[in-house]
C-alpha cells in the first residue's frame, strides 16, 4: 500500500506541482491550502491533470487546523508552506518578521510535532522540509526571509538527529531562484512600508538593483520554466519515494557549487580569536 503524503502550501508552485505528480504515481495525497478559496483551484488543477487529490484547508498557523491534521494517517509530511518579507533589516517592522517566523518556522514545527506522534506509533515516517538556498546564504535586503530559512535548517538538523533511530527520515530541500511567482511577491512585500520617508530611502536605487538582479536571474527563459520546475518537483518526488534519501538536496544542481564557494569565501573572511 502506497504511503499517504501530506503537502502544505499546495495551492500553487512546487506544492501543487508535487501534489499532482505524486497523485499521478498513485499515492494518496492530501494537498492542503492556507485558505478555503484555494481549494477550488487545486481541485480544478487535479481534474485537468486527471488525477485524484484529497484537498483540505490547513493553515499551519491555525491551532484548530493543526489538531485536525493530527487525526489523519500521514506517512510523509512535506512542509512546503511559506511566506516572505523583504527590506532593510534595521527598519522592517518586527511584527512582519514575527509573522514570517510563525508560518515558516513555528507553524511547520507545531504541525510536525503533531504528526510525529503517529509516525512514532508506526515506527516509520518521513519529514521533508522545503527550505531555500537562503537557508545557507544571506542576501542583503532579504534578511527577514533568510532568517526564517536559517531556522528551518537548524530545525531540520536537530530533527534528523533525534528521529533517526526511530526510523523516521528527515530531508531538507533547498530551492534556488525558480520562477514560481514567489520571488516577485517577496520583493514587493516591502513596499507596504518602505517609501520615500524611510530611514534607508537613500538606498532605494541599490535595493532596486539587487531586486532586479535577483528576479532577472531566475530560471524562467522560454522552455526552461517547465524543465526547471519539473526538475525541482522531481527532487521532492524522489525524496518521497527513496527509502534511503539524502539528507540535503539543492536545486538546480549548479547552485550546490555556488553555495559551496560562497560559504568558503565567508569562512575565509572570518577572524578567529585564540
Strand-pairing partners, residue 28, are 4
> In the structure grid, which three cell numbers stand for residue 242, read together?
527513496
- Those residues with Cβ within 8 angstroms of residue 242's Cβ, 6 or more apart along the chain or in another chain: none
Structural contact between residues 92 and 190, judged by C-beta atoms closer than 8 angstroms: yes
Structural contact between residues 133 and 178, judged by C-beta atoms closer than 8 angstroms: no
Query: How many CA atoms within 13 Å lie on the side-chain side of 79?
Result: 35
Let me know if 178 is a catalytic residue: no
Residue entry with cell 569565501: 265
The rounded distance, in Å, linking the Cα atoms of 237 and 97 is: 31
Residue entry with cell 495525497: 29
Strand 248-251 versus strand 168-175 pairing type: parallel
> In the structure grid, which three cell numbers stand for residue 171, read together?
530531508
- Which of these is catalytic: 145, 191, 247, 274? 145
> In the structure grid, which three cell numbers stand for residue 32, read together?
492542503
> In the structure grid, which three cell numbers stand for residue 238, read together?
524522489
Q: Which residues of 111-133 are buried (b: 16+ CB within 10 A; e: fewer)?
A: bbebbbebbeeeeebbbbbbbbb
Residues constituting the chain: 274
Active centre residues (catalytic): 145
Amino acid at each position: 500500500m502506497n504511503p499517504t503524503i501530506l503537502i502544505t502550501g499546495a495551492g500553487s508552485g512546487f506544492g501543487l506541482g508535487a501534489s499532482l505528480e505524486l497523485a499521478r504515481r498513485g499515492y494518496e495525497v492530501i494537498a492542503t491550502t492556507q485558505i478555503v478559496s484555494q481549494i477550488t483551484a487545486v481541485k480544478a488543477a487535479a481534474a485537468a491533470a486527471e488525477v485524484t487529490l484529497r484537498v483540505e484547508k490547513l493553515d499551519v498557523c491555525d491551532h484548530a487546523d493543526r489538531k485536525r491534521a493530527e487525526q489523519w494517517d500521514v506517512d510523509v509530511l512535506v512542509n512546503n508552506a511559506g511566506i516572505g518579507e523583504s527590506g532593510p533589516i534595521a527598519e522592517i517592522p518586527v511584527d512582519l518578521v514575527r509573522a514570517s517566523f510563525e508560518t515558516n518556522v513555528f507553524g511547520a514545527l507545531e504541525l510536525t510535532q503533531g504528526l510525529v506522534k503517529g509516525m512514532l506509533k508506526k515506527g516509520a515516517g518521513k519529514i521533508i522540509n522545503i527550505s531555500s538556498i537562503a537557508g545557507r546564504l544571506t542576501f542583503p535586503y532579504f534578511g527577514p526571509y533568510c532568517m526564517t530559512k536559517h531556522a528551518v535548517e537548524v530545525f531540520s538538523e536537530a530533527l534528523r538527529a533525534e528521529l533517526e533511530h526511530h526510523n523516521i527520515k528527515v530531508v531538507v530541500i533547498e530551492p534556488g531562484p525558480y520562477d514560481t511567482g514567489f520571488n516577485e511577491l517577496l520583493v514587493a512585500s516591502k513596499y507596504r512600508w518602505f517609501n520615500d520617508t524611510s530611514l534607508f530611502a537613500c538606498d532605494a536605487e541599490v535595493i532596486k538593483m539587487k531586486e532586479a538582479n535577483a528576479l532577472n536571474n531566475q530560471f524562467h527563459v522560454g522552455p526552461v520554466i517547465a524543465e526547471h520546475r519539473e526538475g525541482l518537483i522531481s527532487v521532492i518526488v524522489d525524496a518521497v519515494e527513496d527509502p534511503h534519501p539524502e539528507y540535503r538536496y539543492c536545486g538546480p544542481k549548479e547552485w550546490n557549487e555556488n553555495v559551496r564557494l560562497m560559504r568558503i569565501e565567508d569562512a575565509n573572511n572570518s577572524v578567529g580569536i585564540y
